[in-house]
Structure 1
Amino acid sequence: MGLPHRFGRSVVGIALSLIACSGVRPSHVEPYREVRRGPSKATVLDSVGDATVASYPPTGFAALTPSQRALAYHLVAAAWSADSLLTMQSSRFALPAQAAVRAILAKAERLEPRLRERVLACRRYLFLYHGLHDHWTSLKITLPISQSEFERAAQSTGVAVAPELLAAMFDPKVEPMLVDKNPGPGKDPIVESAASHYQGLTSKDFETYREKYELNGRLRKENGKIIEEVYRAGDARTPPGLAASEIRHIISHLRDASAIAPAREKRALERLVTYLETGDNERMREHDIEWLTEAFPIDYAFGFILTYDDVRQRKGSFLAFVSMPDPERNGPLQALAANAAYFEQKLPFAPEHRRDVFRPPAAAAVMALAATAGAGPFGFGGINLPDAQDLKEKYGSKNAIVLSVEDTNRAVMGTRRTTAFAPAEDRAEMDRCAPYLWYALAGFHEITGHGSGKVMPSLADDPAKPLAPHFGAMEEGRADLVADYLTGDPKTVEIGVLPDTGCARVYPAAKTTMLLTNHLQVPHGDVIEEDHQRAAFIELGFLRDKGVISVERRNGDVFFVVKDPDAWRRAVGELLAEYQRIKATGDGAALRALVEKYGLRLDPKLRDEVVARNAALNLPKRIATIPPTLIPIRDGAGRVIDAKAEQTASLDAYIDLIEHANHAQ
């Protein structure tokens, strides 16, 4: 997921497709075309800190069948009910902070208007960030209300707020980092990280302890004893676990969905329900195998999947995602998937590190109908699941590029950032090719990037374990480099992923400009924590050292210039081959050396310049995308028989909807 939209190892990676790729497509496909969604269709709802919040229309939803629309509603309702799970995992103070704000606003009539608006603004922050930290930078957010104002609001409404919670909300020294992989000499990364996966443990505890529930568990230490807890609802034979009531509510909607889903999707959903009831990860593996073998018209991804918020990269943050296909822009992506075996052989991997057995992966261009917990509202550009290496190699994967995210970004941003940050000689071509370049990057990143390569039989475990805590950065960087390398292959134009050789030629300049503007994602300090960002800065540092990116100052502004696209791709291939060797062999020392050389720190002066130039353009640093609101249509017995979708018109109304789904349980 090395795209500029956050998602985990698997994302720019989840899959939802209308048609599974089951055979070879024609050698030429109509190129990806700009269709339907013009700039006027996205609506800016609000600004929350440095984020612009925008919604998009439910284009194509009315063309679904009534049963598909009803299925979409049930899956979306399950996703709405899942949002608080990520908040719970973010910090032990995140849910209590939301609860305190919710309690104050329940008696909002007691507040003067100005103070009421400050509390509402605080609510928006806590919602967008799922608590007190920015999951993209790991930094603690600064709430738009002072501690004294918050205490006054609490006192006016009779809400008791513990001093410990106030300190967590307003003292920058309390839990300053969501994830702190490099806390400094004498400090423990587990202790210094706010994420609630471990309570009372240190890194030393894991020298001998091995947990049973790696992805969906939480560990706490009491009186010297480690206690493992599991997120599960419980059933007749299994006691309930963490977040049992929240998960039961998700399950109720998933059961409604499975009752009307097509046969194979029904079987997958039934296994997902069993997993959420029991916490048994074997049931999730069974679900994944069933789910990835066929793409569904209304598809989904639910589970404890994203490992970015864990310094050990073992614990999975929950995500919930529902989508519908975008058939008008699907053809080139299907062709890319059908040619995955061809592209694998063109990669600069050692022969023993290439995959030699291929099931054509499912792939689709989609629109998000729901993106909650770890999937939103700072959306992701694509998905590739499942994460487990053995499942990928044996069964393949599902993939999607989420065009609703990119459509909204381009509608809000236009091409002004390209004009400001790209070298003058490349601007016109980059502007012409912009949507195609993003489509190619997302498609190759997911389908051929995450899905490529194999590990050596001598590597006894999934490579994520020996390569932690840097596996996520390597895997996102590897997937991006696959895209960077293969967009120069003639077949990319032949199958319609790029429309012509001009766009293939300008791709290196466009990607390099992205590496410059990527400095906006680390707005403070000089430490890089988030895996996608580390991947980007490793690529930038390596390519600069190879001399294929030159740094030039023109009229006082700095630009990254690519003068020889072919040399740029050769250097990309060199780093890509090394990444694949590291993954295939589990060479943690080599990976650590790359991260320490290029991926830990940035040049704050350059970053400050990029931030200032962007501010002068009055452009958002990032965009939170809000999906449409689905409204059920019921028969006389109360059964959902259809649904309609409306573009979300208010951020506060959307928060109301999500809060009701999470707390009216």
Structure 2
Amino acid sequence: MRKEEHIFNYVVDQFADLQVLRYRVAGFDSLTLQQKKLVYYLSEAALQGRDILFDQNGKYNLQIRRLLETLYVHFTGDRTEEPFLALEVYLKRVWFSNGIHHHYGCDKFVPGFSAEYLKNLILHTDVSLLPLESGETVEAMCDKLFPVIFHPEVMPKRVNQNDGEDLVETSAANYYEGVTQQEAEAFYAAQKAQGDAEHPVMYGMNSRLVKKDGVIQEEVWKVGGLYGKAIEKIIGWLHRAEEVAENDSQRQVIRLLVAFYQTGDLKLFDDYSIQWLKDTASRVDFVNGFIESYGDPLGMKASWESIVNFKDLEATRRTELISSNAQWFEDHSPVNPSFKKERVKGVSAKVITAAMLAGDLYPSSAIGINLPNSNWIRSVHGSKSVTIGNLTDAYNKAARGNGFREEFVYSEAEKELLDNYADLTSDLHTDLHECLGHGSGKLLPGVDPDALKAYGSTIEEARADLFGLYYMADAKLVELGLLPDNEAYKAEYYSYMMNGLMTQLVRIEPGAQIEEAHMRNRQLIARWALEKGRDGQVVEWVKKAGKTFVRINDYVRLRELFGQLLAEIQRIKSEGDFEAARALVENYAVKVDAALHAEVLERYSSLHLAPYKGFVNPVYTPQVDENGEITDVTVLYDEGYTEQMLRYSRDYSNL
């Protein structure tokens, strides 16, 4: 281990249920000057979009954030008093979640300070510093914001997924205004009926749906439209990035993205996505735009995000080996042949080093990405998958010796499995999930990609996870040299079942159900396998010293169960079987065992750990000569969490 790796401080801050980490951008110094400039320009483009996600997550988020920041920065009293410390934690949570709702669970935070305390701070702050809207009085601002902050019944969930409720009217996400779920679904059904059925755009992806004077219409996110000021700043840095692009293909990617931002034309977004897929030669890569739809209760509208990265050449050999065998994995999948791709096209995969995170990937980030999300593009042109190696490395290093395995893993045999293999198998499962899982299978002709509606995200994540789990135990992985032996896969099986059945519950508040799509997916798989395997005692609950543990008795049979569920999940996806999707999710993925939940929370609390983790970004500084030319770009890791958030609010507030 090199000295700088040994002394690198991964943990930056911890508060509420959150831990903030730092990631290293290993290999940045070895990039060419042109590549360093490209990373810097793309990073600036990423940071310019920060306010977009805050507004997407809730219509009052930006004003609340700015109010809290003003009070925090200009507070002149005792910063050690309990109400102020509670306000500080609340502000840190708002930063972390890009709004007032939990970034993962979607429930609204409960402030640890009173409305009277907040009102007193406001009244003792220079009114010229307060984020008042045009013509707004301090009293009017408080009347508007205080119910949103303090009243539990006002905007309680950012994304509501409760079956039988109007998911649009009961979700606080700022994607709809004045419309019902039925009206929104009818609006986009009409668009689809008039559109290109063979190459459908992702309808509604980049707009807010509103009803004005009784007419339903879209407010498109583009230059001259909604979020136009931030988008113009993004474009400015993209133009600079275009000047130092590595090749013509990458230049064309940037030009098409700019054209999409300028027009809001979803056909241009498809053109951009296809060109981005084709660019596999560039070392530096990026995502910037409206991408994932988990924040929309209907799974259509996309949150803004960005990641700037470059290829980890050594680690990418693993993912390239997987992608080069994509057809073999598709052919040997346990799903019905009519749901398989006859020819897998354009599957590329790589391990990347994240250089900048933004939007819906910051501070909390995915560890793997598979894009684009358009079904027809994936079918015709393929997909690009990435595993974010340096983020996984930061998670692993920060978690060493924290006592989690000692508390929740059943016996020394399972601990030894995890100690020997878990880092490797976790990365490999992510690779299989992103590279092959999301890229596998096909829709039957005429099936609407949005047919599963609110259940679509959970079913898609379950499909990708199951594909990875099924093949983790295949001898092909040992044959390819991806796993060292036939025992290694058991580490991922045990870790997955323990997490899906038990330990992910540390992320749920007492009395709540599971809302987030990835958590629903994991419980669906684990609970289904537990139930279906009871006859052969494949997986079971066991008690030891009064504590509950998961024990796997038959790993081979468990793999067979994963294969059976994969076959059914793929059928549901391929046929667009909404009722079957609803039955699976509602029966296995949503409900929480209250007694088990209470036990898990109690055991976890004794470890003094944070169940959610996120990151601060490095700081890039261009070195400029007397002629104004950039001669180098340096990277530093000395910025704290609060320091970074306040700087971002100061330098990148564009809305």
* TM-score, length of structure 2 as denominator length: 0.91
CA displacement at 1:381 relative to structure 2: 1.2
CA displacement at 1:302 relative to structure 2: 1.3
CA displacement at 1:111 relative to structure 2: 7.6
Which one is further off, 79-88 or 38-47? Answer: 38-47
In 2: Cα distance, 1:106 partner to 1:248 partner? 29
CA contact (8 A) 1:444 1:483 kept: yes
The counterpart of 1:261, out of the listed 224, 228, 245, is: 245
State the one-letter code of the partner of 1:419. E
The counterpart of 1:225, out of the listed 210, 215, 225, is: 215
Q: Is 1:433 matched with 2:421?
A: yes
CA displacement at 1:613 relative to structure 2: 1.4
CA contact (8 A) 2:478 2:486 kept: yes
Pick closer, same or farther for the CA change 1:421–1:72 going to 2, 3 Å: same
Q: Is 1:278 matched with 2:256?
A: no
CA displacement at 1:129 relative to structure 2: 0.8
Q: Secondary structure at the match of 2:68?
A: helix
The counterpart of 2:364, out of the listed 378, 385, 398, is: 378
In 2: Cα distance, 1:39 partner to 1:511 partner? 30
Name segments (4+ residues, structure 1) moved above 6 Å.
34-37, 110-113
State the one-letter code of the partner of 1:197. Y
- The Cα offsets for residues 71-94 of structure 1, whole Å up to 9 and x where unpaired, read as 000111111111211110011111
The counterpart of 2:488, out of the listed 503, 510, 525, is: 503
State the one-letter code of the partner of 2:186. T
Q: Is 1:418 matched with 2:405?
A: yes
- The Cα offsets for residues 519-545 of structure 1, whole Å up to 9 and x where unpaired, read as 122233231111111111111221011
Q: Secondary structure at the match of 1:580?
A: helix
Q: Is 1:566 matched with 2:556?
A: yes
Pick closer, same or farther for the CA change 1:72–1:36 going to 2, 3 Å: farther
- Aligned residue runs from structure 1 range 65-104, under 5 A: 65-104=32-71
Q: Is 1:168 matched with 2:152?
A: no
In 2: Cα distance, 1:533 partner to 1:220 partner? 30
- Aligned residue runs from structure 1 range 484-503, under 5 A: 484-503=469-488
The counterpart of 2:621, out of the listed 624, 631, 650, is: 631
Matched with 2:12 is 45
CA contact (8 A) 1:197 1:219 kept: yes
CA contact (8 A) 1:54 1:625 kept: yes
CA contact (8 A) 1:523 1:611 kept: no
In 2: Cα distance, 1:81 partner to 1:554 partner? 52
State the one-letter code of the partner of 1:288. S
Q: Is 1:644 matched with 2:634?
A: yes
CA contact (8 A) 2:106 2:158 kept: yes
In 2: Cα distance, 1:249 partner to 1:279 partner? 16
CA displacement at 1:48 relative to structure 2: 2.5
Q: Is 1:180 matched with 2:148?
A: no
Pick closer, same or farther for the CA change 1:304–1:73 going to 2, 3 Å: same
In 1: Cα distance, 2:385 partner to 2:303 partner? 20
- The Cα offsets for residues 341-398 of structure 1, whole Å up to 9 and x where unpaired, read as 1111121011111112223522111221111111121111100000011101111111
- The Cα offsets for residues 14-71 of structure 1, whole Å up to 9 and x where unpaired, read as xxxxxxxxxxxxxxxxxxxx99995753422111311011112222111111111110
Matched with 1:657 is 647
CA displacement at 1:95 relative to structure 2: 1.0
Pick closer, same or farther for the CA change 1:191–1:257 going to 2, 3 Å: same
Pick closer, same or farther for the CA change 1:654–1:621 going to 2, 3 Å: same
State the one-letter code of the partner of 2:105. T
- Aligned residue runs from structure 1 range 71-150, under 5 A: 71-105=38-72, 107-109=74-76, 114=81, 119-150=87-118
- The Cα offsets for residues 538-589 of structure 1, whole Å up to 9 and x where unpaired, read as 1122101112221111111111111111100000000000011111111111
Matched with 2:438 is 450
State the one-letter code of the partner of 1:630. Y
Q: Please, which runs of 5 or more residues in structure 1 have no aligned partner?
A: 1-33, 234-239
In 2: Cα distance, 1:65 partner to 1:162 partner? 52
CA contact (8 A) 1:183 1:192 kept: no
CA displacement at 1:116 relative to structure 2: 5.9
State the one-letter code of the partner of 1:417. F
In 1: Cα distance, 2:306 partner to 2:414 partner? 39
- The Cα offsets for residues 243-302 of structure 1, whole Å up to 9 and x where unpaired, read as 111111111111111111122111101100111111111111111111111233111111
Q: Secondary structure at the match of 1:76?
A: helix
Q: Secondary structure at the match of 2:216?
A: strand
State the one-letter code of the partner of 1:137. G
In 2: Cα distance, 1:156 partner to 1:44 partner? 35
Identical amino acids, percent of aligned pairs: 27
Q: Secondary structure at the match of 1:162?
A: helix
Aligned alpha-carbon RMSD (Å): 2.1
Q: Secondary structure at the match of 1:127?
A: helix
Matched with 2:121 is 153
CA displacement at 1:414 relative to structure 2: 1.4
Matched with 1:393 is 379
Q: Is 1:359 matched with 2:364?
A: no
Q: Please, which runs of 5 or more residues in structure 2 have no aligned partner?
A: 131-137, 192-202
In 2: Cα distance, 1:309 partner to 1:564 partner? 38
State the one-letter code of the partner of 2:261. L
In 2: Cα distance, 1:243 partner to 1:38 partner? 40
State the one-letter code of the partner of 1:103. T
CA contact (8 A) 1:333 1:497 kept: no
CA contact (8 A) 1:364 1:401 kept: yes
CA contact (8 A) 1:439 1:497 kept: no
Pick closer, same or farther for the CA change 1:597–1:413 going to 2, 3 Å: same
CA contact (8 A) 2:25 2:390 kept: no
State the one-letter code of the partner of 2:244. I
State the one-letter code of the partner of 2:410. P
Which one is further off, 616-625 or 35-44? Answer: 35-44
CA contact (8 A) 1:366 1:402 kept: yes
Q: Secondary structure at the match of 1:470?
A: helix
CA displacement at 1:641 relative to structure 2: 4.6
In 2: Cα distance, 1:44 partner to 1:654 partner? 15
CA contact (8 A) 1:323 1:368 kept: yes
Matched with 1:3 is none
In 2: Cα distance, 1:217 partner to 1:303 partner? 12
In 2: Cα distance, 1:335 partner to 1:273 partner? 34
Pick closer, same or farther for the CA change 1:558–1:584 going to 2, 3 Å: same
Which one is further off, 602-611 or 556-565? Answer: 602-611
The counterpart of 1:527, out of the listed 498, 507, 513, is: 513
CA contact (8 A) 2:48 2:654 kept: no
CA contact (8 A) 2:161 2:297 kept: yes
Matched with 2:180 is 202
CA displacement at 1:312 relative to structure 2: 1.0
Matched with 2:227 is 243
- The Cα offsets for residues 624-647 of structure 1, whole Å up to 9 and x where unpaired, read as 122322112234443445311112
CA contact (8 A) 2:69 2:646 kept: no
Q: Secondary structure at the match of 1:58?
A: coil
CA displacement at 1:176 relative to structure 2: 0.5
CA contact (8 A) 2:230 2:654 kept: no
- Aligned residue runs from structure 1 range 14-29, under 5 A: none
CA contact (8 A) 2:12 2:640 kept: yes
- The Cα offsets for residues 111-154 of structure 1, whole Å up to 9 and x where unpaired, read as 86646655444332211110100131111112343322221211
